[in-house]
């Protein structure tokens, strides 16, 4: 056998591919339908003017020999690594050095690739529901046992639902890798400082490594919710943090992200910072220069204000979605520090049945909660990344449909 048989063991349809296929079939059968997309987390606002200006300037640099840039540093250009260290961490009083920051081409890639640093025997824990990439990337590596049709036999699930306030409990059995995400995708909930302190203490006691996803940190409002796990003392000895410009600055098409691997993070005598640098140097030729210059502009005075205006725009959409659901009698979470709103399907419907009803009767696309894990069954996620006009129309359609399903 010369192929990786683990690919054949994972469910054949990736959640968002299945959503796209169902929508494609519906639109083919109903070409005049005005379908509103509140499903995948793709943005609709154009890139901020400061980012466009930086892109143009960087493109112009590529036109002359004196300023042309070819292969760049695999870990990222110093100008962006320094901007992230100062703008994302120094601004909140966290000490992260530029050589602990690595530039990638998206958090999806980084969160899928980071598992390569760990043994195939490492026990993995994920919150449930969870971003599917965390699970599927470990399954492809052969780390999760077998899939029984609902769950992986070798994966530790940390259920999060309305019964526990969508807050994961510590694992009952030892694990080595823990995926946490705050603000959470898909539930939109956040982790408090006290909760993060508990997780950091657990990792320090057991030797586990936390993979902490902050792709949606820009949506946090106020100071009560931590924006980084490194706000917790000792986290730099137990955690890797994954950040992204996709939702913060609309880079879903440009592709740019960062990973922080602290120098203090060591396991079995090895530096994970050095290991990640070696991995990136071997398998990655770096994010394009023009994209990194665009990302640097996010931290300029003009770029910061423009990007924040877009974040506020999406947050207003999220609040509208949540208030509409609650007015219709549904309990919802998220939408406060997050662009996602999560809720139980009305009338006890299962996730895909509600997806079909929403599409066929209201021409709205959402994401079935069961696609995020077994605890997501009977739940649903709506995204705030469409336009304000489309979100307002979707809210009106939801308000009419939901009472007929409860």
- The domain at 51-301 falls in which architecture? 3-Layer(aba) Sandwich (3.40)
How far apart are the C-alpha atoms of 87 and 377, rounded to whole Å?
A: 39
Query: Residues near 177 by Cβ (< 8 Å), separated by ≥ 6?
Result: 115, 118, 122, 123, 124, 125, 208, 209, 211
How far apart are the C-alpha atoms of 131 and 155, rounded to whole Å?
A: 14
User: pLDDT tens-digit profile of 330-349?
Assistant: 999 999 999 999 999 999 99
Write down the pLDDT at residue 16. Answer: 82
Long-range contacts of 138-144 (CB under 8 A, 24+ apart): 139/6, 139/9, 139/10, 140/4, 140/6, 140/7, 140/10, 141/6, 141/115, 141/116, 142/4, 142/6, 143/115
How far apart are the C-alpha atoms of 306 and 49, rounded to whole Å?
A: 8
- CATH code of the region 5-46+308-404: 3.90.1150.10
Write down the pLDDT at residue 406. Answer: 82
The residue among 258, 270, 191, 267 whose CA lies nearest residue 231 is 191
Write down the pLDDT at residue 325. Answer: 98
Taking the chain (406 residues) in runs of 10, the rounded mean pLDDT of each run is 90 81 95 93 93 98 97 97 98 98 97 98 98 96 94 97 94 97 97 97 98 97 95 98 96 97 98 98 97 98 98 98 97 96 96 96 96 96 97 98 93
How far apart are the C-alpha atoms of 116 and 112, rounded to whole Å?
A: 8
Write down the pLDDT at residue 243. Answer: 98
Q: What is the DSSP string of 22-89?
A: HHHHHHHH-TT---EE-SS----SPPPHHHHHHHHHHHHHTTSTTT---S--TT--HHHHHHHIIIII
Sign of torsion, CA 136 209 219 286?
A: negative
Give the angle 260-264-268 at the CA atoms, nearest 5°: 110
How far apart are the C-alpha atoms of 287 and 294, rounded to whole Å?
A: 11
Write down the pLDDT at residue 367. Answer: 95
Domain ranges of the chain: 5-46+308-404, 51-301
Q: How many CB atoms lie within 10 A of CB 212?
A: 27
Write down the pLDDT at residue 18. Answer: 87
Count the residues in the chain.
406
Cβ atoms of 154 and 128 closer than 8 Å: no
């Amino acid at each position: 056998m010369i192929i990786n048989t683990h690919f054949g063991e994972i469910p054949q349809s990736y959640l968002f591919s299945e959503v796209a296929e169902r929508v494609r079939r519906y639109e083919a059968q109903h070409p005049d339908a005005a379908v509103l997309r509140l499903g995948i987390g793709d943005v609709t606002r154009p890139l901020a003017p400061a980012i466009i200006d930086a892109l143009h300037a960087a493109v112009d640099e590529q036109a002359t020999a004196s300023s042309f840039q070819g292969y760049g540093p695999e870990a990222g250009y110093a100008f962006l690594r320094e901007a992230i260290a100062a703008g994302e961490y120094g601004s909140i009083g966290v000490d992260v050095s530029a050589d602990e920051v690595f530039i990638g081409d998206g958090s999806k890639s980084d969160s899928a690739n980071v598992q390569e640093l760990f043994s195939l025997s490492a026990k993995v824990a994920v919150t449930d529901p969870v971003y599917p990439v965390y699970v599927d990337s470990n399954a492809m590596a052969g780390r999760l046992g077998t899939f029984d049709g609902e769950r992986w036999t070798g994966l530790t699930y940390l259920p999060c639902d309305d019964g526990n306030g969508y807050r994961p409990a510590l694992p009952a059995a030892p694990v080595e890798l823990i995926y946490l995400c705050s603000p959470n995708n898909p539930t939109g909930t956040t982790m408090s400082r006290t909760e993060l302190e508990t997780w950091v203490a657990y990792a320090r006691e057991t030797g586990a490594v936390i993979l902490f996803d902050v792709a949606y940190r820009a949506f946090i409002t106020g100071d009560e919710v931590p924006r980084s796990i490194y706000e917790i003392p000792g986290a730099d000895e137990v955690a890797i943090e994954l950040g992204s410009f996709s939702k913060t600055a609309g880079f879903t098409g440009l592709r740019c992200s960062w990973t922080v691997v602290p120098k203090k993070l060591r396991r079995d005598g090895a530096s994970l910072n050095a290991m990640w640098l070696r991995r990136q140097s071997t398998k990655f030729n770096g994010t394009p220069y023009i994209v990194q210059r665009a990302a640097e502009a996010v931290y300029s005075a003009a770029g910061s204000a423009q990007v924040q205006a877009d974040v506020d725009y999406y947050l207003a959409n999220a609040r509208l979605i949540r208030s509409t659901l609650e007015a219709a009698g549904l309990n919802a979470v998220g939408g406060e520090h997050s662009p996602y709103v999560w809720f139980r399907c009305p009338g006890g419907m299962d996730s895909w049945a509600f997806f079909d009803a929403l599409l066929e009767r209201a021409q709205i696309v959402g994401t079935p909660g069961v696609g995020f894990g077994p605890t997501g069954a009977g739940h649903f996620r709506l995204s705030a990344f469409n336009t304000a006009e489309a979100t307002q129309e979707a809210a009106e359609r939801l308000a009419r449909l939901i009472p007929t399903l409860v």
